[in-house]
Amino acid sequence: MKDVIKKAEILIEALPYIQALNGKTVVIKYGGNAMISDELKHSVMEDITLLKYIGVNPVVVHGGGPDITRTLKRLNVETEFVNGLRKTDATTMEVAQMVLVGKTNKEIVSLLNHMGGKAIGICGIDDNLIECEKLTIHSDSGEEIDLGFVGKITKINPHILNVLSQGPYIPVVAPIGVDKNGQSYNINADTVAAELACALKAEKLILLTDVEGIKLSKDDPQIVNALTVDEVKKLIADNVIVDGMIPKVMGCIKALENGVKRTHIIDGRIPHCILLEMFTNQGIGTMIVKEKVRYYDKEKL
């Protein structure tokens, strides 16, 4: 009986969050180890399907780097990365689009449908959802680095996502954009998720990662439950937040500055990580907000 009562207490703890999020849009970036383990795949899909059934409107953005790398290797095409971005020549772009749109996207859609959701897979080319141009980056010496067909987002046209997500569907977005000439570009999935959250005025942006969250120092064993934008900027300046975490937190900051209420960086290696972060008081990752405003009086931030 104690176990049954405990389950009821968990549901009651979730109630204020369910009420606050009812009818709201949540953008979820799905990637990392959560895409590799079958157990974690099913766990994430169950979480996303449950969100839809309780009145939340999830929009999923996925990566797929390992799938692309494996396919390129089978085709004897070398892979090169610069500052964490894949150099994408014409051949690599063709493979990336084929894998992301034709394989990875459809696998996620199939899993969600198997769980009872109504998922529809699209990419940034559909309805000109993601307009972009060629991304230009520079070396430390100021020299321009040619990454090939890697895109910088110039505009989001969210109409198709609004139509799908406000209806019974779960949109699943592959991070491929298109320029004014119809050329496809590969775009970082974290960046796409942040930009879509801005355009949709989402309530939440959730980034699944392969780390526990953000710590106040490199040697700190504890992750921080909640941080403000100012606190995050200080951690960057102090070299606590470094490397691959910087674009993630910068995406969170941009989303917050454009109307998103809460952003979350969570460990996708934990089963049911989305539900644990969204519907429990303690959460499991790090929430980044402009200011710490409670959903309800007793919420601990």
Binding-site positions: 64-65, 86, 186
> Residue 162 in 3-state DSSP?
helix
List beta partners, residue 61.
29, 173
User: In degrees, to the nearest 5, what angle opens at C-alpha 76 toward C-alphas 75 and 77?
Assistant: 90
Using CB atoms within 10 A of its CB, is residue 166 exposed (0-12), middle (13-18) or buried (19+)? exposed
Closest by CA position to 206, among listed 252, 172, 272: 252
> Residue 9 in 3-state DSSP?
helix
Diameter over CA atoms, the chain: 68
How far apart (Å, rounded) are the C-alpha atoms in residues 68 and 103? 10
CA distance readout (Å), 276 to 124, 222, 235, 293: 30, 17, 25, 19
Which string of b and e fits 214-230 if b means at least 16 CB within 10 Å? bbeeeeeeebbbbbbbe
- In a 13 Å sphere around the CA of 1, the CA atoms on its Cβ side amount to 0
Residue positions forming the annotated binding site for substrate: 64-65, 86, 186
Structure tokens at 262: 């809460």
**Which H or E run contains 169?**
none
CA distance readout (Å), 190 to 115, 123, 193, 300: 25, 14, 5, 28
User: How many other CB atoms sit within 10 Å of the CB of residue 84?
Assistant: 11
